[in-house]
Amino acid sequence: MKWNRGKFQIKKRNIPMQHTPYPNPSILYDRERAEETALYYYEELPSTNQTAKEILLSEENGRRFIVLADRQSAGRGRLGRRFYSEGGLYFTYAFPHGSFSLPPELLTTAAAAAVCRAIADEGFPAEIKWVNDILLNGKKICGILAEALSKENAVLGYVVGIGINIGISDFPEPLSETAASLSGDFLLKSRIFRRVRRYFTQTLNGSPQKILDYCTKKSCVIGKPIRYFGAREGCGIAQGLDKNGGLIVKKGNGEILHLTGGEISVRTQG
């Protein structure tokens, strides 16, 4: 198999990581755990989530793995929306069913916490916009898409796709009004990739309440007036997160809602 040089570097060495597509992964080691993680690294993919699901269906040893790509030609976010994927950090973590103790409904919340922590470690004041966006100065720098993979009504596993804008100087219209990018090069990508892996892996068998507490602390919507739409429509005040990561909203008439999906926007008071 021909190996192509990629855009990431091995820690503490100026050695570019090599592209390692399926079925011959490289291996990532974590000093804090005895477990190792397989990495499938591509120059370009339509979607890391889609490739991860295909590999998960073909794997027989039940291991977790990561799919990483320099670019995505058909990256997507929630509700099937296209996700701009040119020049940033794009990867998907795949987990067989039963390989972690965290409730699956908290995977998106846990990933948001891991990404926010990793970015904050680099000095960027990141915030979390429920349910799956990371913002910097009010603009989106990261999107997260968690999906379950089922076959014959049985859940086989889960994939969590993460796309972080790093080193992108220009966005196509109309994204330039709502998207931003972390300033940095492939070294920043490598550091954030490593930290997200570490933090996310720690949460998979950690305390759900600690994840919820962190996301509450870093939320840019809790305590603010919002409009919610999609599954339901209306307005209210975001009160907090419930045990499943849903957004608790208090309507003007005092009614309490628990949002589990849909979209929200922060309303301007005036």
Q: Where are the domains of the chain?
A: 5-217, 225-266
d(C-alpha 219, C-alpha 267), whole Å: 15
Q: Which range, of 24-28, 76-80, 264-268, averages the lowest pLDDT?
A: 76-80
Report the DSSP beta bridge partners of residue 227.
235, 265
Task: Give long-range contacts, CB 8 A cutoff, 24+ apart: 238-247.
Answer: 238/130, 238/264, 240/216, 241/109, 241/130, 241/212, 241/215, 241/216, 243/208, 243/212, 244/103, 244/105, 244/106, 245/105, 245/106, 245/108, 245/109, 245/131, 245/212, 245/215, 247/130, 247/131, 247/221
d(C-alpha 171, C-alpha 174), whole Å: 8
Quick check: 39 and 52 in contact, CB under 8 A?
no
Reported confidence tier of residue 171, pLDDT bands at 50, 70, 90: confident
- Residue identified by tokens 């993919």 is 45
pLDDT at 2 over 60: no
pLDDT at 50 over 80: yes
**Per-residue pLDDT, 168:** 84
pTM of the model: 0.89
Mean pLDDT computed over 142-168: 93
d(C-alpha 76, C-alpha 107), whole Å: 18
Tell me which fold the domain 225-266 belongs to: SH3 type barrels. (2.30.30)
Backbone dihedral angles phi then psi of residue 189, each to the nearest 5 degrees: -60, -45
Q: Which range, of 43-47, 56-60, 196-200, averages the lowest pLDDT?
A: 56-60
pLDDT at 3 over 50: no
CATH of domain 5-217: 3.30.930.10
